Amino acid sequence: MIIHQSELSEKLKVLKSISSAKLGDDLSGVLLKDKMLIANNFKTSIVVPLMDCEEAINCIIPPTAIDFIISLPEGNVEITEKDKQLIIKCGKIKSKFSTYDTELFPQTDTSKPDESKMLIDVKTSDFEKIVKQIMFACSKSNSDKPAQEGILFESDGTFLNIVACDGYRVAWNKLENTNVFKMVLDKEALNKAFSVADDNIYIYANDSKSILIEAGEYLIYSKLYLAEQFTDYAVAFSGAYKLFSRLIEVNFFPALTE
């Protein structure tokens, strides 16, 4: 396979942070398959096509090879695989890396978005601002209610309520949305989407346990938390608020769309 270093390097940088899943004998990496790069840490997976790629090989690029590719000068990079050895060449620079069977890589969904399952279609800049305004209230770690490590998205067909709560603080924001759904998304998956998105971000229902975020060229599949575990945020903003005043610090940011 031959591809320009700049495209391969930039996309590997994005995927590198979630390519830490342990596979086989404590190995990890990014899967190169059918002219796509795929990373999967069992919680979040990212799929991105290689647009300017000659031929195609299927192999796993280990972390040491990822770092090597990122460090290469600009120019065409040639990647070949033989006897579980990945051979990477760029000009006069050449190196070999141990790799392993692609069948050891976690099974990853690479299906295209189903337009009929779209839940959110929003301008990236607005969405990022709204979400990051409340992200501070996410729990850093909660073994009893792991859903509070994520962000709740609950839409009643008029407004999409976006809520973070760590058990002591509640942050609530909203924007207009005509769909009806309730789900808790992983904040790291959202941050990854913000870092690669172009003008708009699209979020689709995928299955009962995951959602699909389309951000520019990247498809981000993320497991959902159990929404039932999330604190009843509406109580904190109701007349019953005083019952929770010792436990919850309320921070409310008006919706950008209002």
Please provide the DSSP assignment of 38-94 as one string.
Answer: EEE-SSEEEEEE-SSEES---EEE-HHHHHHHHHSPSSEEEEEEETTEEEEEETTEE
Does residue 242 surpass a pLDDT of 80? Answer: no
pTM: 0.87
Predicted pLDDT at 235: 73
Average pLDDT on 166-186 reads 90
pLDDT at 255 over 60: no
Higher pLDDT, 12 or 236: 12
Lowest-confidence pick of 77-81, 95-99, 110-114: 110-114
Asked if the model's pLDDT at residue 250 lies above 50, the reply is no
182 pLDDT more than 80? yes
Residue 246 has pLDDT above 60, yes or no: no
Mean pLDDT computed over every residue of the chain: 86
- Between 144 and 162, residue with greater pLDDT: 162
Helix axes 5-16, 63-71, angle to 10 degrees: 140
Do 105 and 115 touch, CB atoms closer than 8 A? no
d(CA 211, CA 163): 18
Name the residue with higher pLDDT: 26 or 31.
31
